[in-house]
Amino acid sequence: MKYIELGLREAVDLVRNGQVKATEIVESYLSHIEAVDPEIKAYLTLAAERALSRAREIDARKDKGRLAGAVVAIKDNIVTRGLRTTCGSRILQNFVPPYDATVVERLEAEDAIIIGKTNMDEFAMGSSTENSAFFPTRNPWDLERVPGGSSGGSAAAVAGLEAMAALGSDTGGSVRQPAAFCGIVGLKPTYGRVSRYGLVAFASSLDQIGPLARSVEDCALITSVIAGFDRRDSTCADRPVPDYLDGLDNFQEKVRVGFLGENSLKGINPEVAASYLRVGELVAGLGFEVVRMDFPSWEVALPCYYIIAPSEASSNLARYDGVRYGLRAEAVELADMYVRTRTQGFGSEVKRRILLGTFALSSGYYDAYYARAARARQAITAELQVAFRRVDFILTPTTPEPAFKLGEKQDPIAMYLQDYFTVAASLAGVPGISIPCGLARDGLPLGLQVLSEPFAENRLFKFAFLLENNIKFKNNMYGINTRGRRKNEN
């Protein structure tokens, strides 16, 4: 039995029933990581001894949690007590947190095994994981291509069989986009559904922690564990959490499904458009009513996002000044120390967004930029609220193109356009899931995004599970060899 090929729920059932030891699973993963990660580079910090120690504890106990033996990777902007958390930045390269994020506490309370911290775009600012201060991560489907971002390390770890599941963060698409690029499932929950306590802030009104997994079922199980009220996060909703696995395979509702019109698909990759249209035919063939919809406000969603998110980032990242923790540059004068620390510690994309945000918030420009973006955000939210009175779900492509080559997007605007289909859901706070929906001609996976109204993750998972089973995506991850390349490569 190849333990790394087991689905998360399947592996957990075997461990809980005593048929397989958690230590055997962890050892199998560590061996595989040693073989493939030198090329994929999904991890910034590997917690081998911590994982093995945790596995031995689980094996020694009779009573085991809902995630016993599940090998999970954590994006490196989610704090882990005693385990380095860098945010992919030089300014925090030696930071070891004294506490765990709520989501980490909840995973470990159910006997999940944290195997390491994954690479990311610095402070979650990017769509390719090329903005990491340490090294880029490569897509396991094609090592010359990016895994997406900013949760690219988490997506690559799951797709490369280096973890059963992973946590990422999604501010404007940073779970959904890498899930699409890597042929896996990724969820951005409703804003407030999952605690942000212990998530290093980028844009506080947008950030959400979400799971990446190999199937909708595994994604639903992880979400059932990490979701729920947390008094330490003032934005966390005090609402009960259903068992997202309950009735997952029993979706019998006659729903209406929103489908983008041609105007919304202009300029995207033809293979992405063709795959999306095939899904529309599939949905209609299943007996659901397909409603053609256009969203005029989405035309301003991207510029709106790239004013609001940098503005919040400029405020949140002001705390990295070299005084309390993190990098401190040598200097005689205090003001000079601030300048040198932030100049040496931050990468170019982070500096760009801090400058953008500071300008948008500055006296004389606030009303022209930030205030207008805030009004646009309200319009986008209202448009989606109206849409969800007409339909139950909205389907879109997750990304406008398949995974692109490393170094291909040198123009920042070209990189920002990767978020075209994902930012509206982030601005409105609604949940969205990306599932694989096909392959491009060159064998790269394509993603389908499914949106629902806030706090409807239960129905969202059921509908996504139905689509997953009918699309029958032929996942290539078992074809990955020890060099991380596809089988058909020379």
- What is the tens place of the pLDDT at every residue in 144-189? 999 999 999 999 999 999 999 999 999 999 999 999 999 999 999 9
Is 75 one of the annotated active-site residues of the chain?
A: yes
Kindly state the percentage of the chain with pLDDT values over 90: 92
Q: pLDDT tier at 309 (50, 70, 90 boundaries)? A: very high
Q: Would you say residue 409 lies in a domain?
A: yes
Residue pLDDT, tens place only, 351-407: 999 999 999 999 899 999 999 999 999 999 999 999 999 999 999 999 999 999 999
How far is 124 from 122, CA to CA, in rounded Å?
Answer: 5
How much is the pLDDT for 475?
Answer: 65
Arithmetic mean of pLDDT, 295-322: 95
Encoded amino acid at 170, one letter: D
Residue 210 is given by DSSP the state E
Residue pLDDT, tens place only, 396-450: 999 999 999 999 999 999 999 999 999 999 999 999 999 999 999 999 999 999 9
* CA–CA–CA angle 478, 482, 488 (5° rounding): 60
Q: Would you say residue 61 lies in a domain?
A: yes
Q: Would you say residue 403 lies in a domain?
A: yes
Catalytic residue among 75, 117, 188, 462: 75
Looking at the structure of the chain, the number of domains it has is 1
Q: By residue range, what is the domain housing residue 143?
A: 3-255+390-479
How much is the pLDDT for 88?
Answer: 98
Number of H helices, E strands in the chain: 15, 11
Can you give the CATH number for the domain in which 162 is found? 3.90.1300.10
What does each C-alpha distance from 249 to 6, 233, 252, 462 come to in angstroms? 20, 33, 9, 7
Q: Would you say residue 439 lies in a domain?
A: yes
Asked if residue 78 lies in contact with residue 120, where contact means CB atoms within 8 angstroms, the answer is no
How far is 200 from 85, CA to CA, in rounded Å?
Answer: 9
3-state secondary structure of 321: coil
Q: Would you say residue 164 lies in a domain?
A: yes
Q: Strand order of the sheet with strand 43-46?
A: 43-46, 113-118, 71-75, 165-170, 208-213, 185-188, 432-439, 445-451, 393-397, 256-260, 289-293
Q: Which residue in 184, 233, 191 sits closest to 209, CA to CA?
A: 191
How far is 131 from 112, CA to CA, in rounded Å?
Answer: 29
Q: pLDDT tier at 477 (50, 70, 90 boundaries)? A: low
Catalytic residue among 174, 275, 297, 311: 174
What six digits make up the tokens of 128? Answer: 């390719």
How much is the pLDDT for 169?
Answer: 98
Task: Assess whether pLDDT exceeds 90 at residue 283.
Answer: yes
Task: Assess whether pLDDT exceeds 50 at residue 316.
Answer: yes
Q: Would you say residue 239 lies in a domain?
A: yes
- The residues, any chain, with a CB within 8 Å of residue 426's CB and separated by 6 or more, are 170, 171, 172, 173, 188, 206, 208, 305
Catalytic residue among 89, 150, 154, 195: 150
How far is 114 from 164, CA to CA, in rounded Å?
Answer: 11
- The phi and psi torsions of 24 (rounded to 5 degrees) equal -65, -40
Asked if residue 418 lies in contact with residue 400, where contact means CB atoms within 8 angstroms, the answer is yes
Q: Which residue in 175, 250, 209 sits closest to 435, CA to CA?
A: 175
Q: pLDDT tier at 349 (50, 70, 90 boundaries)? A: very high
Question: For the chain, how big is the Rg over CA atoms in Å?
Answer: 21
Q: Would you say residue 30 lies in a domain?
A: yes
Kindly state the percentage of the chain with pLDDT values over 70: 96
Q: What is the mean pLDDT of the chain?
A: 95
**For 34-96, where are the E strands, in sequence order?**
43-46, 71-75
Task: Assess whether pLDDT exceeds 90 at residue 107.
Answer: yes
How many CB atoms are located within 10 Å of the residue 82 CB? 11
Asked if residue 351 lies in contact with residue 90, where contact means CB atoms within 8 angstroms, the answer is no
**Residue predicted with more confidence, 223 or 482:** 223
What does the DSSP assignment read for 147-180?
A: --SSSHHHHHHHHTTS-SEEEEEESSSTTHHHHH
Task: Assess whether pLDDT exceeds 70 at residue 476.
Answer: no
Q: Would you say residue 180 lies in a domain?
A: yes
What six digits make up the tokens of 298? Answer: 């989405």
